[in-house]
Amino acid sequence: MADDTFYGSDFGALQSFDPDIAGVLLSELDRIRGGLQLIASENVSSPAVLTALGSTLSNKYAEGYPGRRYYGGCAEVDKAETIAIERAKALFGADHANVQAHSGASANQAVYGAFMAPGDTILAMALPMGGHLTHGTKVSFSGKWFNAVHYGVDKQTEDIDYDQVEALAREHRPKVICAGGSAIPRLIDFERFRAIADEVGAILWVDAAHFIGLVAGKAIPSPVPYADVVTFTTHKVLRGPRSGALVCKAEHATAMDKAIFPMMQGGPQMHTIAAKAVNFKEAATPEYAQYAKDVIANSQQLAASLLEVGIRPTTGGTDTHLSLLDLQGVGVTGKVAEERADAAGIVLNKNAIPFDPQKPNIASGIRVGTPSVTTQGMGVEEMKQIASLIHRAVTQGDADPDHATSKEVRAEVTDLVTRFPAYPR
């Protein structure tokens, strides 16, 4: 056995060698602890996950897959990857898992690599309607090299327009249909997507990056029985390391593995794969299942309380960890709201809302999520308070941290995060 006093991380050594970067690590910890973290795609991962990330597994080159590597010395990292694969398969009830994607975007790239040739058609949700950059936007490889056709949401319900998905699928006969995105507050009807894909002979790809943690905790229905392939990130509600992964049907296992490596990536990041294994173990516990349910309960309370103070959640509410809030009723843009919230110690992001009259860098909305605050132990009572803090900061505050409202709200935020700390001392 190795000396168990050293696994790779030694903060004292970093502090004495590189106080600049050690200082950044400390001040980032202060930032996390000092504010309300409401970015829907972020979370507060555990010390166990962070320990695996900061380990000597970072040193190892291991191109290939367990038992089939292009380098010697891979026996130990093979164990880590095999554990991660088996845990992912068990957690999601999947035939096959690939845990090597460096990020959600890399996992998504592999879907194009496995099933499409340049010029082929993909049908996916438009980014301004809640989709994602990698779902065929013009600035991404996905829109430059592939023919992307986009669906949106229904004007009345603001939820996915399934009739439009069906009509576009019949018209364009896409190779791949993608469900999922980055600002969808409602559950997705995977059965309907499957039926549409089957009718036109398309692959059904679910990008579950945002909600996979809720699936892991069995708090919402799983896309795995319906989709050919499900890609996801591991750092959002799932609360693991910053990374990606995918699960798929057995018949696509070889194609997906080849698309990740050697088509899209080189050497896998073995320290991150070990951290994903830790994360999958955490996500299989009853405590995590309760967490996933609490995330949704908090999110629904936050949306309801914001509606009460005149900040309207699109679709009228949420089924998930996030709400998309239309600020037009309070006469503030998303950009201004983000700046005012920031000055008051509330971290959130501006976001386009469906049919947004503003440019994306201004936006008419904000997106808020409850993964981090729920990890910190906050519950529905705190969500009522947070709604009031957001409302005050956004409608009466200022981008100037010295403004009276910014200071007043920030003092309440400090009190709240002191009672519910991230990484308690």
| Residues that are catalytic | 61, 63, 207, 233, 236, 242
The helix/strand/coil state of 268 is coil
41 makes contact with ligand DSN (CB under 6 A): yes
**Which residues are CB-neighbours of 142 under 8 A, at least 6 positions away?**
108, 109, 112, 122, 133, 134, 135, 136, 148
**Least distance to ligand DSN, CB of residue 209, Å:** 6
351 is a site residue for ligand DSN (CB under 6 A): no
Q: Calculate helix-pair angle for 404-419, 380-396, nearest 10 degrees.
A: 160
Nearest residue to ligand DSN, scored by beta-carbon proximity: 41
> Cα–chain-centroid distance for residue 321?
10
**How many residues form the binding site for ligand DSN (CB under 6 A)?**
4
Checking phi first, is residue 355 left (phi over 0); if not, alpha (psi -120 to 50) or beta? left
346 vs 416, beta carbon nearer ligand DSN: 346
Q: Which residue has the tokens 């392939």?
A: 229
Residue (104 or 397) nearer to ligand DSN, CB: 104
Site string for ligand DSN, 56-95 (x = CB under 6 A): ----------------------------------------
| CB of 21 vs ligand DSN, minimal distance in Å | 24
d(CA 70, CA 39): 39
x/- site string to ligand DSN, residues 169 to 198, per CB under 6 A? -------------x----------------
Task: Give the per-residue contact string, 131-160, with ligand DSN (x = CB under 6 A; - = no).
Answer: -x----------------------------
* Backbone φ and ψ of 383, nearest 5°: -65, -35
The DSSP output letter for 260 is I
Phi-psi bin for 145: left (phi > 0), alpha (psi -120 to 50), beta? alpha
Structural contact between residues 276 and 241, judged by C-beta atoms closer than 8 angstroms: yes
Nearer to ligand DSN, 41 or 45 (CB): 41
DSSP-assigned states of every residue in 312-332: EEGGGS-SSSEEEEE-GGGT-
Can residue 104 be called a binding residue for ligand DSN (CB under 6 A)?
Answer: yes
Choose between 182 and 370: whose C-beta lies nearer to ligand DSN.
182
Secondary structure of residue 206 in the 3-state scheme: strand
Backbone region of residue 35 per phi and psi (left: phi > 0; alpha: psi in -120 to 50; beta: other values): beta
Q: CB of 341: closest distance to ligand DSN in angstroms?
A: 16
Shortest distance in whole angstroms from residue 102 CB to ligand DSN: 13
Nearer to ligand DSN, 356 or 412 (CB): 356
CB of 215 to ligand DSN, least distance (A): 16
SS3 18: coil
Task: Confirm or reject binding of residue 370 to ligand DSN (CB under 6 A).
Answer: no
Nearest alpha carbon to residue 275 among 236, 218, 234: 234
The binding track of 265-294 with respect to ligand DSN, each residue x by CB under 6 A or -, is ------------------------------
Kindly tell me which of 34 and 104 has the beta carbon lying closer to ligand DSN: 104
| Nearest partner of 299 among 314, 317, 325, judged by Cα | 317
For residues 113 to 132, the per-residue mask of contacts with ligand DSN, x marking binding by CB under 6 A and - elsewhere, is -------------------x
**Residue 225 preceded by cis peptide, ω within 30:** no
CB of 11 to ligand DSN, least distance (A): 29
In the complex, the residues that contact ligand DSN under the rule CB under 6 A are 41, 104, 132, 182
